[in-house]
Each structure stands twice: as structure tokens, then as C-alpha cells.
Amino acid sequence: MISFDQILEEKIGSGIYQLRTVSIIGLIEFCDGVEYVFMSILMAILQKEWQLSQTQVATLGSSFLAGVVIGNCICAYITDKIGRKTSFSIFAGLSVILVYYTSFAESYNEIIILRLLFGIVFGTTSPLGYVFITEVAVAKYRGRFAFSLTLMYVAGKAYLVLLCFFFLDDYTSGNWRGLIRFNGIPVLLCFILSLIYLKETIRYYLNKGQYTVAFQEIEDVQKQNNSQYDPLNESEKDGLIAWQLRQNNLMIKENQNEESGVLSKQHLRITLQLWTLLILANFQNLSIYLLMPFLFAQENSGFEHMLYLFLIEFVFAFVIYLFIDDPKYGGRVNIIIYASILLVITNLLLYIYQASILFFGMLLIKIATRGMFSTLFIICCESYPLHLRSRGSGLAMAVGKVVSIPSPYVLFPLFAIDPYLPFLILSVLGTFMIALSVTYPSDRTQKHLEVYSDEQKEE
């Protein structure tokens, strides 16, 4: 039976359409990278500028995380109803408003609310971007297309630190209002481009039964990618409709048997392992972002050290980009296994040798967490069928963040006892990540996306 993955590979191919989509989605990932680093630096600045207590600083970080959880839930349920493109454009536009409003905030309560709203935007656009790219890319290059978002994200972090040289004096003072206003430029550009050039995914139209629209979109995309294209014939159109109806029938049968969706018998193991991995990965990642400015400030390090970290992280992210679609030497599951092992070793060494290897240790942890997170996002999108893709990915990321919301209240007291004590705990938790990675049951590297195809059923 013909499937959309076959149409995508044989008729549509890869070209301008995918590159344009990746560029626009990548731009919001670039802005998310900017925002994530700005959040950690802003906490250190406001603690000194506004004389905030340790509890207030922790609340500032937790409000952002709470917003991310809400955003993940929005992605899980809303984007399947109103579409990927509409959701993306709405939240890109909201991000523009929040950027400029934050630059005029005068009170702690205003910042708390704005951090919450920023978290909602971040929590919606981040998983949505991976869902978007996963649905438009051919199986052979799906990992690379999706991982290119990571490269943009890391580039955004490096860009923010570069601007810090011009707007900030150090990690605890400077013109942070001017910095965030300047960062509004790429956000505004992304919003405008999404309105003009971003297209809804063809898979979404097929799933909604809008076959005429889907066939027209296929033809339009073929024209973009190929000057001499081969349009769908009636037999292929009928085959594609039959394929989609089969997906729908199997989905209905599954829903009748199991009402819990991602927690159904078919998806339960994958869901629980993804949730646990993301909980542990989030705790690891947030520990770095919350503590890094304070550790560097304690060692009187300048912005150049953070910039070097992000630039080297970009280089290693590019190396992962080259191998993520290689089922022999790379592949999704292998990457999260390698990353977990590196986290266990590096965290333990940081606890033992402390400041003497701070820069090198932070570098290795950032490389590992970047590979871990980006690959887990791709695995989330590939592990569920279309009708559960946004929900499964959004919920997995939401659960991972929910458990991390109280993490600032744990990390800062530990930091007060010993700045390197959190790394010992993270090393122990990393052993659980290794076990979960090794036993993960599904790796869809270079395999067709929809799990209800005949070939996948035979698997």
C-alpha cells in the first residue's frame, strides 16, 4: 500500500520547501536559545540590582519553568486542533510583544509574570518546531533536518553572549533592558516570515481529511522542489486516501480499546521511559543554566569563557548532526547512551576537582546535554503516530519540566553548602539515564515515520 512517506521520498523529495521551513522554524529556535541564556544571566543581574533574596531568585527561575510546562501542554493539545502553522505564528507574535514589554518592567512582580509568559511561548514553540520538521522531512535526512534546529539554538546562545560584551559590564550588572530590546529584532523577523512563507504540514491536512487541500499542497511543494515535477495521478491519490483512512480506522480501534492514548498498552513503556529520561535531563540542564553565571562570577570569569563554551558546543553539535542519521555509528539511541555516560563521568570529576576543571567540565556537560536533549526531542516525535505526535511530545516535555520546577529551591541551598555538591548528585542520577537509554525499545533512524504502515506493523 502506498503511504505518504513514499510520496514524500519519491514525488516531493527534499529542496527549497524543507530549507525554507527549517530556516523559519530555526529562527525561533535561535531566539529560544537567546532567551534561555538571558534568563540565567538576568537572575544574577536582578539579584544584585534589586537586592533579591535567594528565595526570590529561585522563584524567578521557577516561574519560567512553570510557563514552559503550560506551553508544553498547549503544544500537546491545541496544535492538533488549530494546526502547526497557526500555533507557531500566534506564539511567535506573542514573543515579540513580551520581548519589548519586558524591557520596560519596573517591578519584581512584573518580571515574574513576564517570565511565566515567556516560558509558555518557549514551551509551545520548542516541541512544535521538532514536530513540524519531523513531518516535512524524508526519513533519510529527518534526523539532520531536526538536529539543525539544535545548531540554531546553540547559535542563539552564542549570539546572546556576544551581545553581552556590548550591553553588560559583567554577570551581575549592565544595560539588560537594551540587550533584550535588541534581541527583539530576530523575533520580529521570525513572526513576519512565518506569516508569509510558512506552510501547514501536508500530514496535518491528510489527518483532518482535507484531501483536496493536501493534494494541492503536494503539487505546490513539488513545484518548489523540482522544476520538472511528476504530479500525482488518480491511482496515487486514491492510494493515499486509502492509506490515511486505514490510519484513521486503526486509530479509532486503538482509542476504543485504550482510552489513555500515550499511556495505552502499546505506548506505555516508551512513554514512561521518555518521561523519566526527560525529567533527569531537565534537572541536569537546569542545574547548568541556573548555576553557571554564579560559578563563573565566583571565579571572576568574563563573558569570553561562556562564549567559548557555546562556540565549542556548536562545533560538537555539528559533529552529532553528521552522525545522527547513521544507524551504524550514530543513531538516536546510541547518542543518548554516549551522552549519559559522559554526564556521569564529567559530573563526578567536577565534584572532585572543582574549580580547576570548571571550564572543561562545563564544556563536556553542555555537549552531552545538547546531544541528549535534541535527540530526545526527535525520538519523542518519532515514537508516536500522527494523532498522538504533538500530544506525546508535548506531554513528555511537560512532565520533564514539572518535576524540574522546584529544582531552583534545591540547587541554591546545595550551592550555599558547597558550590560543587550538585554535581555529585547529578553524577548519581546519570547512572539511571544510562540504564534507561540502553533499554529504550525503539530507534526509528532512517525509518518511515508513521507507525501504522504495513512495514512497521510487521516489525
C-alpha–C-alpha distance, residues 224 and 352, integer Å = 56
Instruction: Give the CATH architecture of domain 4-229+261-458.
Output: Up-down Bundle (1.20)
**Residue 45: what pLDDT?**
87
The span from the first CA to the last CA of the chain, in angstroms, equals: 16
User: Which residue, among 181, 182, 198, 164, has the nearest Cα to 92 in the 3D structure?
Assistant: 198
- Residue 456 has a pLDDT of 41
pLDDT of 260 over the 70 cut:
no
pLDDT, average across residues 211-238 = 84
> Burial, 249: exposed, middle or buried (Cβ in 10 Å; 0-12, 13-18, 19+)?
exposed
- Stretch 49-69: mean pLDDT, rounded? 82
pLDDT band at 253 (very low <50, low <70, confident <90, very high): low
Q: Which pTM value belongs to this model?
A: 0.75
Residues written for the chain: 459
Task: Let me know: does 197 contact 24? Beta carbons within 8 Å.
Answer: yes
Q: Find the DSSP H helices in 258-357.
A: 268-298, 303-323, 332-353
Does residue 455 register a pLDDT over 70? no
Does the pLDDT of residue 373 top 80, yes or no? no
C-alpha cell at 142: 529527518
The whole-number average pLDDT for the span 104-133 is 86
Mean pLDDT of the chain: 81
Residue 133's closest CA among 123, 146, 124? Answer: 146
Mean pLDDT of 295-321: 76
List pLDDT tens digits, range 262-276. Answer: 777 777 888 888 888
Map residue 439 onto helix, strand or coil.
Answer: coil
Say whether pLDDT at 452 is over 60.
Answer: no
Phi, psi for residue 173 in degrees, rounded to 5: -160, 160
Of 118, 78, 90, 68, the residue nearest 191 (C-alpha): 90
Residue 194 pLDDT > 70, yes or no? yes
Parallel, antiparallel or unpaired: strands 173-174 and 168-170: antiparallel
Q: How far apart are CA 40 and CA 38, in angstroms?
A: 6
Which residues touch 205 (CB under 8 Å, ≥6 apart)? 211, 213, 214, 217
Q: Quick one: cell of 335?
A: 547518542
Environment class of 315 (CB within 10 Å of its CB; exposed 0-12, middle 13-18, buried 19+)? exposed
